[in-house]
Structure 1
Amino acid sequence: MTQMLLSTAVACATVAAVAAAVMVWQKFHKHSHCDQALVLLYEFRHACATPLYVLRHISEHVALEMQAGLNQPGGSQLMMLPTFIEKLPNGCEKGLFYALDLSGTNFRVLRCLLGGPNARVIKQEYEVVAIPRALLLGTSEELFDFIAQRLISFIKLEGPEFQRGHNWNGHQIRELGLTISFPICQTSHNTGILIKWTEGFKIADGVGKDVVAMLQSAMDRQKGFQIRVAVLINDTVGTMAGGHYWNDDVMVGVILGTNTNACYVECNLPEDIQTKSGKMVNIPFYTLPVIYMEWGRFWSSHLPRTYIDEQLDNESVNPGDRGFEKMTGAMYLGEIVRRVLARMAQEANLFGDSVPTKLKQPFILLTLEMSKMHADESPDLRIVDKVLKDVFDIKRTELSERRIVHSVCDTVTMRAARLAAAFIVGILKKIGRDGWDATGVSSRLMALPRDSEHRARLELKRTVVAMDGILYEHYHRFRIYMQAAVYELLSEAAARKLVIELSKDGSGTGASILAACHSEFAPSYS
C-alpha cells in the first residue's frame, strides 16, 4: 500500500514537473517568437521611414512632374487634365440646383437650395437609388433611361420651399451638376467622352460617347420637366468647389479615402494646354483654371516601398499602376497590415505554431477595423484583442503580440499620412505657396510666373486646402500625422498662412453649387 502511494506520489510529481517544464518552455518559446516578430517589425519600420529629407525629395519630384505634365501631354506620370472649370463659387449663388452622383452600382440624386451670401445653403434633400443588376449588363440607353426616370420622380417631390427657390431663377429649366466616377475624356465643362465602364458595369455600348449627351437624351425623353446638365465633374473638383463656396482662399482640393486624388488652381498655366483627346485648348491669361492631377498614378524611387508593397502590387488587378494610391488609399492600408502580420505569423510564429486561416485571406481586414486597433489606448489593448478575434478568429493573444499589431498599424498609417503630406506640399510648391521660393529651391523646379511681383504677392496670401475622404475625416491619427508633416515641410511663414479644412460631399453639394456657377439662366455673381 505504501509502495502504491509512493508510486502515485512520484507519478504526480513527475506530471507536475513535466507540466511546469512545458509552461516554462511555452513562456520562453512565446518570448522567442515575439523577439523574432520584433526583428521583422523593426525591419518594416525602417523600410517605411519617411524622414524630412525623403519627403522634401518627393515634394520636389511631384512639382517637377506637374510642370512636365502641363508642358507636354504624356510627359508626366501625372495626368494634369484641364477640368474646364474656370469659375469657382463665391457664396453669392442663389436658386434651386440639382446634382446626380453616379459613382458605383448606386447613384444619388440631390437638390440644394442656395440663398445667396446671407443664407448660403438653405436646405438639401437627397435620395440613394440602387441600380438593378440587369441594367449593369444591359445597354447604355436602358441605364440612363432608368436614371432619368428616378430623377424625374425625385423632382416631383419638390416641396413648396424648393419650388419658390426654383422660381428665383426666372425660368422653367432645372439645372444639374453631374459627378461621374468612370474614366472619361473631358472636352468642356459639360461634355465628356466615356473611356470605359468600371465599378461593376459590363455594358456593351456607350464607350466613345459623351456621357452628358446620353443622360441629356434620356432626360429629354421624360415628360413634364426640362433638365439641363450644367457641369460635369469628379468628386475631387466638387470638394474644391464646396470649399471655395465658403472660403475664397481654397486653392487645392484633395480626396483621401478609399482611393486618393487631387486638383488645384493653376497660377502659372502655359498659354496652350492639350487635353487627353489631343485637342489644343487656349486658356485666357486672366483665368485661373482648375487642373485635375490623377496623383494616385505617381511613382518615384524616393517612395519608401517595401517587400510587402511589391507583393501587393504584383498580385493586384493593375500591377505597376497607381503606386502612390496603393501606399495611401483606404482600400489598401488594412491589407498592408494584414500582409505584414501574415508574414510575422509565418516566419516568427506570432500567433502560435500555425498561421491563422483567416489571416491568409486577402482584404479581410478593412482599414476601418485597422483604425480601431490603432486608436486603442487601453493598457491591455483590449480593442486590438477584439478585432483580432472578430476579423481573424484569433482566440487568444499575449499583450506583447497585441503591441506588435498596434505598432504595425501605426507604421503603415504614419507612412501613408506623411506621403500624402509630401504630395500636398508638392502642389503648394508648384503654385508658389510653400514659402521656400526665396531660397531659389522652387525656381529651379519650374518656370517662374510671367509676373514675379504677382508671385511674391501669392506667397503672402492665405492658402486653404479643402479635404474630404474617410481617412481625413474619420481616421484621427492619420489626420494628425498628415497635418504635422505638412507644417514640418513648409517654411514658417507659409505654415502660418496655410489652413487645412474639411469640405464634405463634393460629389453632391459641390456638384450642385458648381451647377449654379455655370448656370445659363441664374444671375452672374462673379
Structure 2
Amino acid sequence: MGRAVVGVAVTVAVATCAVAAVVVGRRVRSRRKWNKVASVVRELEEGCDTSVGRLRQVVDAMAVEMHAGLASEGGSKLKMLLTFVDNLPNGTERGTYYALHLGGTNFRVLRLQLSGQPSPNLEHDVEVERQPIPEDVMTSTTEDLFNFIASSLKDFIAKEPDGSNISQDRRELGFTFSFPVKQMSVSSGILIKWTKGFSIRDSVGRDVAACLQEALTRKGLDVRVAALVNDTVGTLAVGHYHDPDTVAAIIIGTGTNACYLERIDAIIKCQGLLMTSGRMVVNMEWGNFWSSHLPRTVYDIDLDAESPNPNDQGFEKMISGMYLGDIVRRVILKMSLESDVFGPISPKLSMPFILRTPLMAAMHEDDSPDLREVARILNDIFEIPDVPLKARKIVVKVCDVVTRRAARLAAAGIVGILKKIGRDGSGGITGGRSRNDMKMRRTVVAIEGGLYSKYSLFREYLREAVKEILGQDIAKHVILKILSLTTAALMTLPLSIFVRNIGR
C-alpha cells in the first residue's frame, strides 16, 4: 500500500513537472515570437528616424537640388520645369471658363462662371463631372486616351442649355495634366514620362496639348486648348486667388509634387526670359527628389525594386498615398514570416498594393478600445481572422511609424522650398543674413490632396515637423493652408483662368 502511494505520488509529480514544462515552453515560445515581432518594429523605427537634425539635412539637400535644377538641364534629380506662368488669378477675372483635369485614375471636366468679384466659395460657381479612366485606356494608345477625354468634354458641353451648338460656339480650354511635361509654351508641352499607373508608350516625347487638340477636332468640337498647366500650378492659383501671400503649392495625395514662385534671375538655365512680373511658377516634380539623408529601409528598397519604375520617384515612394499602405503590408508580411502572431501566413500578404492607404489610415486612426476597425481590415483585406489585440496594437504602431516618417519628410521638403526663396528666416541658400536680422514676411503654402486633407494624423505630424524645423518664432509667419476638397473640381478651377490672363 505504501509503495502504491509512493508510486502515485511520483507519477503525479512527474505529470506535474511535464505540464509545468509544457506551460513554461509555451511561455518561452510565446515570448520569443513576440520578441521577434518587437525586433521588427524596433528596426523599422530606427530605419525611419526623422530627428530634427536629419530633417534639417533634408531641407538643405532640397534647397541645393532646387538651385542645381535651375542652373542647368539634368543638373539635378529635380526637373525644375518652367511653366511660363507668371500671372496668377486675383479674383477680378470675369467670364465662363472651361477646364479638363487628367491627374490619375479619374478624369474631370468642368465649367466655371466668374463675376469679376472674389468668391470665397469657388466650388459654388462650378459645374463638374468626374469619370474613371478605364484601365485598358491607361495602357492603350495616345489616340484612345485623348478620344476618351474629348468624348467626355463633348458630352459635358451637350448638357448645357446651348449644348446643341457644340460645333458652332468657340470655346477656350485649360488643360490640367498631372504628369511630368517639358513646357514649351503656356499652351504646349512635351510628355517626359508617365506615372500613376499610366503606360502609353507612343505618347512619350509628344506634345500632349496638341494630342488633345487633334482629338477635339476629330470629335467635331470647336474648342482651343489655350493653356496646359500642371495640377500643382492649379493648386497654387487657387491659393493665390484666395490669398496673394501664397508662394508655393504642394499636392500630397496618391502622388506628390510641388511648385512655387521663383525670381526670373534665379532661373540660370534660361537666361533672357522676359516676364512682366519678374517671376515665374516653377514645377519642381519633387517626387523624384533624392538625398542620402532620406531614411530608407529594406521595405523601401524592395518596393522600389519591384515597382514599374525602379530608381525613380524615390521621394514620392516614401511620402505619397500610392505607397504608404504597401510599405505597411510589407512590414506585416515580415512579422508574419518571423512569427505566428498573425496565425498561418496569408497568401494575401504577398499581393502588392492590396492594402490601400485609406484603409491603412483607418487602422491608424481606430480609437475603439478593442481596435475593431483594425481587426475588420486585417480580416477583409488579408483574410487574417481573430488577430489578438496585442497584434492589432502592433499594426497600429507600424502605421504610425510609416505615416510619421512620410509627413515629416514632406514637411522638410516644404521648408526646403522656403529656404530656397529666403522665406525660412535664413535668407535663402545663398543669403548671408542671420535669422535675427531677417524680417519674416507672411508666407502661405497651399496644400491639396487627400492624404493631407483627410488623414488628420498625417496632417498633424506634418505641421508639427514644420514648427520643429523652423522654430516657433519663424513658424508663426508660415501658414499651411489646406484647400477644400468639397468638390473634385477645385483643383482645376484656376487653370482655365490662365487662358485669358496669359493671352493678354
**Would the alpha carbon gap of residues 125 and 373 (structure 1) be closer, same or farther in structure 2, given more than 3 Å must change?**
same
Residues 46 and 78 (structure 1 numbering): CA distance in 2 closer, same or farther, change over 3 Å? same
Q: Which residue of 1 aligns with 2:155?
A: 153
Alpha-carbon distance, 1:181 to partner: 3.2
CA distance change for structure 1 residues 138 and 417 in 2, over 3 Å: closer, same or farther? closer
Paired amino acid for 2:389: L
Q: 1:471 and 1:17 mapped to 2: Cα distance?
A: 56
Runs of 4+ in 1 over 4 A off after TM superposition: 10-25, 130-139, 196-207, 455-459, 504-507
- What amino acid does structure 2 have at the position aligned with 1:502? I
In the TM superposition, residue 493 of structure 1 has moved relative to its aligned partner by 3.2
Deviations 1:168-200 (A, max 9, x none): xxx953221101234432111111123456666
Work out the CA distance in 2 between the residues paired with 1:332 and 1:204: 23
d(CA) in 2 for partners of 1:214, 1:114: 29
* Deviation sequence 1:32-70 (CA, Å, 0-9, x none): 311221122122212211111111111011111111111
Give CA-to-partner distance per residue, 1:480-506, whole Å, 9 cap, x none: 000000011114332111111112469
Whether 1:403 aligns to 2:377 is no
Per-residue CA distance 1:100-145 (angstroms, 9 max, x = gap) = 1123465321111112225463521122345567766765445434
Q: Which residue of 2 aligns with 1:185?
A: 182
Alpha-carbon RMSD across the aligned residues, in angstroms, is 3.5
**In the alignment, what sits opposite 2:457?**
477
Query: Cα gap change, 1:270/1:178 in structure 2, threshold over 3 Å: closer, same or farther?
Result: same
- Counterpart-to-counterpart distance in 2, 1:379 and 1:132: 41
| Partner of residue 279, structure 2 | 288
Q: Which deviates more, 308-317 or 331-340? A: 308-317
Report if aligned partners of 1:86, 1:288 keep a CA contact under 8 Å in 2: yes
What is aligned with 1:240? 236
Structure-2 residue corresponding to 1:393: 383
* Contact kept? 1:185, 1:193, Cα under 8 Å: yes
Q: Equivalent residues in 2 for 1:481-520 (5 A)?
A: 481-504=461-484, 508-519=489-500
Give deviations 1:194-242, integer Å, cap 9, x for gaps: 345666666574544322223223334555x632222111211111111
Contact 1:264 1:292 in 2 (8 A): yes
Structure 1 residues 27 and 140: CA distance shift in structure 2, 3 A: same
SS at match of 1:231: strand
- Supply the distance in 1 between the matched residues of 2:455 and 2:305 (Cα, whole angstroms): 28
State the alpha-carbon separation in 2 of the partners of residues 332 and 33 from structure 1: 28
Contact kept in structure 2, 1:175 and 1:227, CA below 8 Å: yes
Separation in 1 of the partners of 2:159 and 2:436? Answer: 52
TM-score by length of 2: 0.86
| Mapped partners of 1:103, 1:515: distance in 2 | 16
In structure 2, runs of 5+ residues without a counterpart are 1-9
**Number of the residue aligned with 2:440:** 460
Residue 343 of structure 1 corresponds to 334
1:28–1:214 Cα change, 3 Å: same
- Residue 153 (structure 1) shift: 2.7
Q: Judge which range, 66-75 or 194-203, deviates more.
A: 194-203
* Aligned-partner residue type, residue 412 of structure 1: V
Partner Cα distance (2:502, 2:284) in 1: 31
Of 469-478 and 393-402, deviating more is 393-402
Does structure 1 residue 123 correspond to structure 2 residue 125? yes
CA distance in 1, matches of 2:431, 2:74: 19
Identity %: 46
Q: 1:514 to 1:137 in 2, by over 3 A?
A: closer
2:430 paired with 1:446: yes
Q: C-alpha separation between the residues in 1 aligned to 2:481 and 2:468?
A: 17
Deviations along 1:409-440, whole A, 9 cap, x unmatched?
11111111111111100001111111134xxx
Q: Match of 1:30? A: 30
Is the alpha carbon distance of 1:124 and 1:424 closer, same or farther for their aligned partners in structure 2, counting shifts above 3 Å?
Answer: same
Structure 1, unaligned stretches of length 5 or more?
A: 1-9, 164-170, 275-279
Q: Provide the rounded CA distance (Å) in 1 between the counterparts of 2:193 and 2:57.
A: 35
Deviations 1:242-293 (A, max 9, x none): 111111111111011111111111146436534xxxxx66144742211111
Which residue, 247, 254, 259 being the options, matches 2:250?
Answer: 254
Which residue of 2 is the match for residue 166 of structure 1? Answer: none
* SS across alignment from 1:518: helix
Kept in 2, the 8 Å contact 1:436–1:490? The answer is no
CA separation of 1:184 and 1:360: change in aligned 2, threshold 3 A: same
Query: Residue in 1 aligned with 2:405?
Result: 415
Quick one: structure 1 residues 227 and 509, their matched pair in 2 at CA, closer, same or farther if it must change by over 3 Å?
A: farther
CA contact (8 A) 2:319 2:407 kept: yes
1:367 aligns with 2:357: yes
